Amino acid sequence: MNISSITHPAGAGQQPVSGAQNVLGKDDFLHLLTVQLRYQDPLNPMENTEFIAQMAQFSSLEQLQNMNQSLEKNQGSEAELHTAFKNNLVTSLVGKSVEVPTQQVTYDGDSAEVAYRLGDKAHSASLRILDARGQLVRELELDTTQAYGTVEWDGKSATGDKVPKGAYLAVVAATGPGGAPVEADMLKRVKVDAVRYSGNEARVWADGRELALADLRGVLEGSD
């Protein structure tokens, strides 16, 4: 028996259905099974085992669809819970000191302490200080035995001369075994002044600019 001829009988006036489903749902499966039973050959009825097998398929299909709907609902709830938790965490940062990446070091005429963070497997690392023209002023080796550290710049150039006060460009570079580049940042400690919301996301306002939670490298005790 051709099931398609039963569910879509040929005849005058038949119009193609737009937007037809490509995947059968449990209601479609039950409808096909009912039609199959209605039009089965009385002289050659469906075997009990075949009928039970098809009913088992219908039951499995229903369970899978219900499970899929439940998972989709749970995923939506988990996403909302995650967003609420993250926003609550960001709100608790107001008034605290955080570390953010920077490429500027300010020399006050005496010395400048620079904080840095190195990625995993850093084999060698250095801090390169450049002037406003991009010329190398000084290069300092960094300790790679710890992920976070500080280095002090005495304000001298590579030739030993004192440099003028002011802001300098600084870049931390690190490599792993074999010379492969490793993630590294120079860090600046800033105080979180406020938290503002953009849609469903909380944004941190610190150091006169807006930051995302992913921009923060650390949270410190106390405040500046």
Give the tens place of pLDDT for each residue, 90-139.
Answer: 777 888 888 989 999 999 999 999 999 998 889 999 999 999 999 999 99
Any idea what the CATH number is for the domain that residue 126 is in? 2.60.40.4070
The residue segments making up the domain with residue 84 are 24-89
Do 107 and 155 form a contact (C-beta atoms < 8 A)? yes
Tally of domains within the chain: 2
Shared domain check, 161 and 116: yes
Q: What is the pLDDT of residue 4?
A: 46
List Cα–Cα distances, 145 to 9, 44, 117, 180, in angstroms: 78, 81, 11, 17
Which segments of the chain does DSSP mark as H helices, in order? 3-7, 26-38, 48-91
Give CA separation, 158 vs 62, 107, 186, in Å.
75, 15, 20
d(CA 4, CA 161): 91
Asked if residue 223 has pLDDT above 60, the reply is no
Residue position matching structure tokens 């369970």: 63
**94 in any annotated domain:** no
pLDDT digits (tens, 9 = 90+) for 175-194: 998 889 999 999 988 888 88
In a domain, 151, yes or no: yes
Q: Is the pLDDT of residue 224 over 70?
A: no
First-to-final CA distance of the chain:
82
Who has greater pLDDT, 8 or 135?
135
